[in-house]
């Protein structure tokens, strides 16, 4: 039988009246920015309101691509921090190493190029499961000192990076506290698609052993989709683990839509322009090619309509995705290529849109992925162009939004969607927020609290 469950069994014992404390292992935490940061930030915010104080274990000098200080406003003042240093090089240095020598550096000679290639190969194979392993020793040491001084009730590690899981597992072994593992992305899928992921046989072998070790230590496993939950439940069953796998979606925060930052100013939009907005990273799991191809087709057959379209892409882009976007310069479409913005600015772009764009590539494993932006998009109550393969994300859209999802290979339907909107405007029938209330961040955090109650009560019984 599968050990997957949407919620743990109800507790018999009443909840203690005193506040409790959770150690959250989160390498990516404000001032670090990015979509993956939202989940732990919202958990800290709402756990505090419902009786749980949080200590966040995070590096003082994270090697990350983006910073977003606006997210720090969400963190309760009472939140404690442990900030050990990581020995990683800067993100720029890591990206330069991953890209290889530049054209100028190729003139340095064959011996130096060989040495550089060997060094890069050795580093990728040694730094398992990811470069953040260079934070592991300091993180475990600093957290151990803190746990000896301050009583905690549980440990929760959220990943990627998957070094967080190893840190949490080490602390579980030392202090025997309940250990919860939160897969924001499945380890197996990240190893296949994540930027700069090690895809060689040795890395796969080592990381599989690491993952089995983490799952054996876990008292509970959390995933962001039901399909991923079932997949992980099967793994737990094979390991003969008593841990349960629970689905806790990312969700949306109601307060993001009731408060606005009046300091955010966006470029004005002409009255006859239809603004289509995509927010988030563009990479191989969110390939923009289907939309670009449809716009090219529109430009070829209905150039007047193409000139009415403004396509706004807000966020980081890999070089490959940037090259795809650059094809739009040969069309009449107005491209707004916006770099990473803080979350308040992202929300402003969403509010300014006539329609929002959601992307998920049609690749193996994508049927188990639900982009975090999906819930925010639904809560915005905007028209939606969702280009997704058949799977859990498409099912949620079909259930909550009348526009439905279009598979990436159906270029005709994407083009037809554009023609309809550019001809008559955005759809007047959009998903109502009442239909997605179950996906609010606060309700999803309540599910986490029930799981924490479950694992801590089991420890008390033992």
User: What confidence tier does 115 reach under pLDDT thresholds 50, 70, 90?
Assistant: low
Strand pairing class (80-82; 355-359) = unpaired
SS3 for 7? coil
pLDDT of 79 reads 98
**How many angstroms separate the CA atoms of 233 and 223, rounded?**
10
Q: Which residue has the higher pLDDT, 258 or 113?
A: 258
**Would you say residue 14 has pLDDT above 50?**
no
CATH class name, domain 4-93+129-251+440-461 = alpha beta
Residue range 253-277, pLDDT digits in tens: 999 988 776 678 898 888 899 999 9
Rounded distance between C-alpha atoms, residue 453 and residue 10, angstroms: 9
Task: Report the b/e string of 333-360 with b at 16+ CB within 10 A.
Answer: bbbbebebbbbbbbbbbbebbbbbbbbb
State pLDDT tens for residues 278-328. Answer: 999 999 999 999 999 999 999 999 999 999 999 999 999 999 999 999 999
Would you identify the CATH topology of the domain 255-438? Answer: Rossmann fold (3.40.50)
DSSP-based three-state secondary structure for 22: strand
**Helix 163-175 to helix 136-149 angle, to the nearest 10 degrees?**
40
- What is the C-alpha separation between 98 and 96, in angstroms, rounded? 5
Reduced to 3 states (helix: H, G, I; strand: E, B; else coil), residue 136 is: helix
270: left (phi over 0), alpha (psi -120 to 50) or beta: beta
DSSP 107: G
Q: What is the pLDDT of residue 17?
A: 46
Backbone φ and ψ of 84, nearest 5°: -70, 155
Element (H, E) at 161: none
What does the pLDDT read at residue 404?
87
Residue 53, φ and ψ in degrees, nearest 5? -90, 155
Tokens of 314: 């807000």
Q: Distance (Å, rounded) from C-alpha 251 to C-alpha 231?
A: 21
Other residues' Cβ atoms within 10 Å of the Cβ of residue 10: 8
In the chain, domain spans = 4-93+129-251+440-461, 255-438
pTM over 0.85: yes
């Amino acid at each position: 039988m599968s050990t997957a469950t949407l919620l743990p069994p109800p507790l018999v014992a009443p909840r203690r009246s005193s506040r409790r404390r959770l150690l959250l292992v989160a390498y990516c935490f404000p001032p670090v920015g990015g979509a993956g940061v939202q989940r732990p930030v919202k958990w800290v915010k709402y756990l505090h309101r419902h009786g749980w104080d949080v200590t966040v274990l995070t590096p003082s000098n994270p090697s990350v691509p983006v910073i977003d200080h606006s997210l720090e406003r969400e963190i309760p003042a009472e939140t404690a921090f442990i900030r050990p240093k990581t020995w990683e090089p800067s993100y720029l240095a890591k990206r330069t190493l991953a890209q290889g020598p530049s054209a100028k550096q190729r003139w340095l000679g064959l011996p130096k190029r060989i040495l550089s290639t060997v060094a890069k190969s050795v580093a990728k194979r040694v730094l398992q499961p990811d470069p953040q392993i260079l934070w592991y020793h300091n993180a475990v040491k600093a957290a151990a000192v803190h746990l000896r001084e301050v009583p905690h009730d549980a440990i929760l590690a959220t990943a990627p990076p998957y070094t967080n899981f190893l840190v949490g597992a080490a602390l579980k072994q030392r202090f025997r506290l309940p250990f919860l593992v939160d897969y924001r992305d499945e380890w197996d899928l990240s190893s296949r698609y994540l930027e700069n992921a090690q895809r060689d046989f040795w890395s796969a072998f080592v990381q599989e052993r690491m993952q089995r070790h983490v799952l054996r230590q876990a008292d509970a496993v959390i995933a962001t989709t039901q399909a991923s939950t079932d997949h992980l439940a099967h793994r737990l069953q094979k390991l003969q683990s008593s841990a349960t796998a629970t689905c806790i979606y990312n969700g949306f925060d109601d307060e993001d839509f009731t408060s606005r930052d009046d300091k955010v100013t966006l470029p004005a939009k002409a009255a006859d322009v239809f603004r289509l907005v995509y927010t988030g990273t563009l990479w191989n799991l969110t390939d923009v090619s289907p939309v670009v191809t449809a716009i090219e087709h529109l430009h070829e057959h209905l150039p007047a309509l193409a000139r009415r379209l403004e396509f706004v892409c807000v966020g980081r882009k890999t070089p490959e995705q940037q090259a795809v976007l650059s094809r739009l310069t040969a069309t009449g479409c107005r491209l707004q290529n916006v770099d990473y913005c803080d979350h308040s600015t992202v929300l402003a772009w969403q509010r300014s849109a006539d329609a929002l764009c959601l992307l998920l590539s049609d690749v193996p494993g994508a049927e188990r992925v639900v982009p975090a932006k999906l819930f925010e998009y639904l809560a915005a109550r905007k028209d939606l162009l969702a280009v997704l393969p058949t799977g859990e994300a498409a099912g949620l859209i079909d259930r909550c939004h009348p526009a439905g999802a279009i598979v990436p290979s159906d270029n005709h339907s994407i083009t037809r969607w554009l023609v309809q909107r550019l001809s008559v405007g955005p759809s007047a029938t959009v998903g109502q927020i009442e239909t997605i209330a179950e996906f609010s961040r606060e309700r999803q955090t309540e599910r986490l609290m029930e799981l924490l109650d479950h694992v801590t009560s089991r420890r008390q019984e033992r």
